[in-house]
Structure 1
Amino acid sequence: MTTLKTSRRGRVLFAAAAILALGLGAAEARPGGGGSFGSRGSRTFSAPPATTTAPRTAAPIERSITQPGQPSFGQQATGATRPGGFFRPGFGTGLLGGLLGAGLLGALFGHGFFGGLGGIMSFLGLLLQLALVFFVVRFAINWFRSRNAPAAAGAGAGDAGYQRSALGGGMGGLGGSGMGFGGGQPQPAPAGTPIEIGPQDYAAFEKLLGDVNAAWDAENEGLLRRYTTPEMASYFGQELADNARKGLHDRVKEVKLLQGDLAEAWREGSADYATVAMRFSVVNALFERASGRVVEGDPTRPQEVTEIWTFRRDPGDSWKLSAIQQQG
């Protein structure tokens, strides 16, 4: 009886291990391996709003060069986040403090800037020192106050709230059929200025969906660097190297966008960001390089996938893939 129970337990553990292995293997397929990684500026660790295409909350970012609490791209510290006033660290503070200290101590002990003079000259020298200290202090206070004024104004402007506009509309040939990119309901937006996303932007997002998958299928790291941010290109490069080391090739074919929704779009500094939920069909299978044997997936049957992609656009550049998230 004990042997029978042990045997059953072993079969259960083996089956569980097999299921786990299959689950881990599935995470290796497609660009990004079904994970959530990359950067979304100051919103990297904030979940994007749910959309019709992706009604569930997006999975948290697991890998990112952005650290929690790190200022967003192009964001500068304001007067509320750094010491202000006369004693703020900076060029000239130590020198000015040394001069004032020397003068005041000299006045207290009967000598100073003009120490060594005697009689009436010492008294006149003391008065001159006090007058000099007064004007120097007044000049320093006015100078530091004028430097703090722009920072205080910037802090007040950054506290203004914004509402996300209802953006979007069907893309050419896809609108009206329940496919393509559509708009969403206005929602409060966190830090960042909302931006408008037009038909050309939606076309660029759809094209990048196909281009990134095609470059992944061809294992072309040069093209991946062209279509993605340096951070995303480094992640993809690591995964391609891992597949090569394991003797595997992840094939991705027939990528077709079925539906897409804009979750949010904003500007940080000089960079634009847009997070888009996309549901697409794809033929995806993992092959063994040497034998051509299918290790995972189906090389003929399409599957539907829903992912949340964030794109970034720098001045004078085109949109690039900046992050991928799965549905939670």
Structure 2
Amino acid sequence: MSIPKTQFGYGYDKRYKTIQKFDDIPIPSVGANELLLKVEAAGLCLSDPHTLIGGPIELKPPLKTSDKFIMGHEIAGSVCKLGSELSKQQDSKFKIGSRFALQINFCCGDCEMCRKGLDGACTTTSQCYGLNEDGGFQQYLLVKNLRTLLPIPDNVSFEDAAVCTDSVLTPFHAIQKVKHKIQPTSKILVQGCGGLGLNAIQILKNYNCHLVATDLKPDIKSTALKYGANEFYNDLSKSNHEPQSFDIIFDFVGIQPTVDISNKYLKKRGTLSMIGLGKFKLVMPNYLFALREIEVFYNFGGNSIEQIECMKWISKGLIKPDVTIVDFKKLPQALEDLVNDKVRGRVVFRPNKL
């Protein structure tokens, strides 16, 4: 496989609030126990503009957070070069052409959380592809932490595998926390039908509950219903649903109005699952939630075993991510469209198909 000496990509530069194009990036040399991944698909996420505005996730000492790095945390690709030690391992799963999706965070495998199987909450490292370390908005990515490589099933595309790393994994992780509460008679509200919310609907429909979806965008209705929602509303107050009538509410928006809606419509001993990061701070109705014994869960990402399971669901046709492929050279415009609420589903780039 012919590998160029340089590449281009897009990323964070502390001096700017917009994404920057980096030209003539040297293709990194590969260490003995490292590999080079040819990036076949990289997804665009609202966390990308959040990173540009608010800065990267802070690295734990002794590592220093970089002032400049390649962004893109939803990544899938194929192995194009092996380190000298890896190439000697004949029975290794790491071979030229092997297909992998990346776990976003660099898990150590040794801390308490990792040993419990909760490697998405690793306490040793805070390194994350595209959020404070070089990510997938480039053609080739050096992978130093081999634990982050998760095999893609043969019948799952690179594009679906890439968005699975966050857009599918995050709602899947949130649902796993409360799935024991979901019955066929449960009434569940999904607030926000963007990339994550639509995937949540597809996951939840497998539990045979009654699903109500809401979103301010009227054009998203047909997709939400197609993916499994029983009802869709732009304004829940104009429906026939009574206050305090929902068992579980998933908030994929995370702004004060959606918290207020949850307060209005959650029944006693109901459950609120917070996923959306629309605002840095929210006011929770402490007394009213206490009076009704509302259970509140916060969520961020997921674990590697859940990500592998998500890819199995995609392989079996239980989830079909809503993916739109956009020319890699048009990434800055796609990012602007996402910020301006012009994107539906998930945008994916193919950096090596120029």
Same fold (TM over 0.5): no
With the length of structure 1 as denominator, give the TM-score of the two structures.
0.19
The TM-score, its normalising length taken from structure 2, stands at: 0.18
Structure in which a larger fraction of residues adopt helix: 1
More relative contact order, 1 or 2 (CA 8 Å, 6+ apart): 1
The structure with the larger Rg is: 1
